[in-house]
A and B are shown apart, each in its own frame.
Chain A
Amino acid sequence: EMVLTQSPGTLSLSPGERATLSCRASQNVFSNYLAWYQQKRGQAPRLLIFGASSRATGIPDRFSGSGSGTDFTLTIRRLEPEDFAVYYCQQYGSSPYTFGQGTKLEIK
């Protein structure tokens, strides 16, 4: 089973700043089949990014994904108040699908 390790566990930033979240896989992610989800308190996760770098429908362009192989990054430029949430990476290149443990983005 592929293990995804996200860092940092918690990221404290202010609105307007840039956030950089990391996801490292225990082995190469086939075809960069990696997604990012945002989860706000009391809500279900929401798909942000798929295929490592493609934004899902309706996702603002301040969200961007990059990376390949075993190292992936979610970048949020100019944080908005509604961006403070927990972010998960997930791989769908090999079975079983697995998720990272999450990065909590909190207001500084």
Chain B
Amino acid sequence: QVQLQESGPRLVKPSQTLSLTCTVSGGSLTTGHYYWDWIRHHPGKGLEWIGYIHHSGSTYYNPSLESRVSISVDTSKNQFSLRLTSVAAADTAVYYCVRERGGFDRVFDSWGPGTLVTVSS
């Protein structure tokens, strides 16, 4: 069974870049028909989809974040990563890396435990 684990700095200063990595274990992110996503959960608010990457390198981002976000993949390490530039307090959230099924039902079937990233000086 695939497992995902987020890692990266928990505290980021305003205007700087948030960087997180997701390590996938229990399976290769190049096998099967999956996409690899980032989703965040603002404290006391709802869930927000950030974007996804396919192991081929193709990406798709939420238009609300597209100007600041990039997702990359390192298949040799079985990892994918998130970069979010010019962060502000509103970017404080729990960030999840998630596996998204391909095909018709593009649902999120495996989640990392999540990591709280705080934006503060």
Contacts and interface: CB of A to CB of B under 8 A. Distances in A.
Interface residues of A, number: 25
A69 B60 CA distance: 26
Interface of A: 1, 31, 33, 35, 37, 43-47, 50-51, 54, 56, 88, 90, 92, 95-102
**Chain B interface helix/strand/loop/mixed:** loop
Interface of B: 45-49, 60, 62-64, 96, 104-109, 111-114
A88 B47 contact: yes
A96 B111 contact: no
Contacts of B49: 96-99
**Chain A interface helix/strand/loop/mixed:** loop
B96 A35 contact: no
Contacts of B96: 44-45
B64 A47 contact: no
Given A35-B107, A51-B105, A56-B109, A102 B114 contact: no
B47 A99 contact: yes
